[in-house]
Amino acid sequence: MFLFASAIMMAFAACTSDNPVSIPEVPDTPEEPEEPEVVVSVSLKDIPFGSWSAWVDGELTNQFEPTWAEGESSGLPYGDGSVKAYSDLSAYSKLIVVATEGTPRFLLNRDVDEGQWNEVEADSHLIEYPKGDEVWSAKYFSVEEKEDGSSVYTVDLAQIVQDKGYAHLHAIKGANWVNCTLTSMVVVE
Query: Residue 21: pLDDT band by 50, 70, 90 thresholds?
Result: low
Q: What's the rounded mean pLDDT across residues 48-67?
A: 92
Is there a domain that residue 168 lies in? yes
Q: Look over the chain and give the mean of its residue pLDDT values, rounded to a whole number.
A: 83
The pLDDT of residue 4 is above 50:
no
Residue 7: what pLDDT?
A: 46
pTM: 0.77
Q: Whole domain around residue 145: which residue ranges?
A: 41-188
Residue 134: what pLDDT?
A: 67
Indicate the DSSP class of residue 164: H
Is there a domain that residue 21 lies in? no
Q: Which has the closest alpha carbon to 187: 164, 165, 150, 160?
A: 160
Is there a domain that residue 54 lies in? yes
Residues 6+ away with beta carbon under 8 Å from 137: 117, 121, 124, 127, 128, 129, 131
Is there a domain that residue 36 lies in? no
Is there a domain that residue 138 lies in? yes
Is there a domain that residue 184 lies in? yes
Is there a domain that residue 20 lies in? no
Q: Give dist(CA 171, CA 34) in Å, integer.
A: 39
Is there a domain that residue 142 lies in? yes
Yes or no: say if 110 and 52 are a contact pair by the CB < 8 Å rule: no
The number of distinct structural domains making up the chain is: 1
> 21, exposed or middle or buried, with CB in 10 Å at 0-12, 13-18, 19+?
exposed
